[in-house]
Amino acid sequence: MKKSLFLLGLLVCSMATMAQTETADKPESWYFKLGGSYFIQTAATEFPIVNGALPNTDVYAADGTTLLSRETNHGSFGEGFRTGLTAGYRFSTRLGVELGVNYFSSASKTMVETTNRLVAAGPVFATGKAVGKIQAFDVAPALVLFLGESHGFEPYTKVGVIVPIHGDLTIKTNRTYTTPAGIVTSYAKDVVKPNPTVGFLAALGTSYKLGTHIAIFGELEYRNFTVHGKTKETEVYTENGVDKLNTPTNFRPDASYSASHVDYVKQLNTGSNHYLFNPNTATTNVTTDTTRPNEAMNDISSYVGISGLGLTLGLRYSL
């Protein structure tokens, strides 16, 4: 991040210096851009732990205990669609600033997957998948350097920052439990709220005039930032389609407040509300139960990457 900010500052200074050497040959002006983008992921990283499960795809043999294969799940939530509205102000023929407001919806990513794992006597086997998806609104201020117009085309570059203002990571987990009495299907929806963060963007684009005020534009944009979790809440839990969020079951014996709510921290210690430090020895669900069940459970804050390379196409209207 420090390296990215240094490069951003260096480029901004260079652009400003170049702009000062230009003589404005047209008045200051406002413009507005409406566009849509698709991003592909870059800089894939290992996904975080999901409800105590490592970010792996595991396949077990018929006995449910012999591991046949394991693959670590990597990815970036930078892949997906974005729409946005941008206001720009042009100081001269070369220099301008922009402020974009964007909505981003990532592609769904498999974070954890398990096939035929023995989870309880009976025997009980579990097969399931946890899939994550990010939706967010952000603002993106940027400095723009226009490179000169020729035959209606005007290329430009810009650098800036990305500031998420609202969003979350939604993790949907579907499991099938095979028991001697039959099959039970469960569904859980966890929503992770993020801590504040700032990202970096750089873009190369061009516009093409269709008229005095109207132009089309295209941009190739790179962006990179990470998001750390602040809280997590299990909003939905069902078994065979029946709400069991606040009801203990054989497959989710702990239905307390702490089982559905997490506050992320940098460090776990003896003061933390976590099963490793204050376990509820009266029960057997050792992966969730604490002696403070009416408080949110504490867990180590993890992060996900939102880096991508995208193409934006749209319309520009100049005043």
Q: Among residues 247, 19, 229, 252, which one has the least CA distance to residue 132?
A: 229
Distance CA(293)–CA(53), nearest Å, equals 21
In the chain, the domains with their CATH numbers are: 2-318 (2.40.160.20)
In this structure, are residues 264 and 296 in contact, taking their beta carbons and an 8 Å threshold? no
Q: What is the pLDDT of residue 285?
A: 66
Q: Among residues 266, 265, 310, 306, which one has the least CA distance to residue 45?
A: 306
Contacts (Cβ under 8 Å, ≥6 apart) of 157: 15, 144, 145, 147, 202, 203, 204, 205
Q: Across the 319 residues of the chain, what is the mean pLDDT of every consecutive 10-residue run?
A: 46 45 58 97 88 92 97 93 97 94 97 96 95 96 95 95 95 97 96 94 97 95 93 97 95 92 92 86 69 90 91 96
Q: What is the pLDDT of residue 108?
A: 96
Distance CA(145)–CA(155), nearest Å, equals 9
Q: Residue 231, Cα to own-chain centre: how many angstroms? A: 14
**pTM for this prediction:** 0.86
